[in-house]
Copies of this chain bind each other. A is one copy, B any other.
Amino acid sequence: MATVNGDSIILASASPRRREILRTIGLPFTVMPSRIEEPPYRGGSVADHVRLLAELKAAEVAQRVSARLVIGADTVVLVDDRILEKPRTEQEAVQMLQMLGGRWHRVLTGVCLIRSDPDRRRSGCEVTRVKFAPLRPDEIRWYVSTGEPMDKAGGYAIQGYGALFIERVEGDYLNVVGLPLRLVYHLAEELGFDLKRCLRPSQGGEAA
């Protein structure tokens, strides 16, 4: 990719939510989604699985370009031990929300950072517990009618209308949006990379 120079930070993800999180804190970055075929989950630790996916994504992009830092991530939503994907139909969205209403679920994001030298990498997994309020049928109907659940793993967006229905969060909030920023910062530090020195003025704290 001709537009990427060795000084860039690359987000190896097509997720608009991840992009928005990095933009909010004023991190300059380039988006370059990975081209891997995601291996399906075949049992075992889900945390290991999402971390592996994050590593595969970051590594695939890191071998294509020379960049200062590549960030890969993969998020899943777990109810008990069942993974909830993005709903493919409105009917599936309704079923997911019926399953989530009134209960706790977990959101896991694997994160992998690779510095210019491919052997210098760190990865981790962040787990956040989320409690939905009990959902009435009219609330589910309304929420699905907004279209918001359709392209979201688990069928909701905590940073959108979904906030109306979330009672509690335990852990990292941004993890539920799609990228645990604190973990990214921490892993970068372990690689000797000071993320905060790259930041431009933040929008988040200065909302007009």
> Is the pair A173, B169 in contact by a Cβ cutoff of 8 Å?
yes
Interface string of A178-208 (1 = CB under 8 A from B): 0001100100000000011001011111111
Q: What is the chain B residue whose CB lies nearest that of A165?
A: B182
A163 at the interface (CB under 8 A from B): yes
Tell me whether B161 and A25 are in contact (CB under 8 A).
yes
Q: For A172, give its contact among B169, B204, B207 (CB under 8 Å).
A: B169
Q: How many copies does the complex hold?
A: 2
Q: Does A170 belong to the interface (CB within 8 Å)?
A: yes
Tell whether, in the assembled complex, residue B164 and residue A17 are in contact, meaning their CB atoms are under 8 Å apart.
Answer: no
A interface size (C-beta, 8 A): 44
Fill in one digit per residue for A145-163: 1 if any B CB lies within 8 Å of its CB, else 0: 0101000100001111111
Q: What are 12 A-B interface contacts by the 8 Å CB criterion?
A: A16-B206, A16-B208, A19-B207, A139-B196, A159-B207, A160-B204, A161-B196, A163-B181, A164-B195, A167-B182, A168-B170, A169-B169
